[in-house]
Amino acid sequence: MVEDVQFETHKLDITEREAAEILKASQLRLQEAIQQSEEEIQIHARQLFMVVDSVSKYKEHVESKISEMRVSLSETAAAISDAYKGSLPAQFPGSANAN
């Protein structure tokens, strides 16, 4: 009977040690997975920042080009208007002053 108790105690000790080893290994794997996830998050955050920065720079470039096009269009429209106004007095004298 005492031997049975000692044997069961020994088996229980072995099981507890195995469980402790499994727990320790699991905690280590968890920490490694957390660290890897954090590294991946940092990598993706940097990539996202680069994309946002690139889009922002492209937006500024497009806005600048649109502004240049508007100025050019305005200048062209003014030149056409001036050319048209210059041709009116020759065709219709006095009509330029009517407006």
Question: What value does the mean pLDDT of the chain take?
Answer: 91
Q: Which of 5-14, 26-35, 54-63 has the lowest mean pLDDT?
A: 5-14
Average confidence (pLDDT) over 73-87? 91
Task: Give residue 91's pLDDT.
Answer: 56
| CB atoms inside a 10 Å sphere around CB 57 | 10
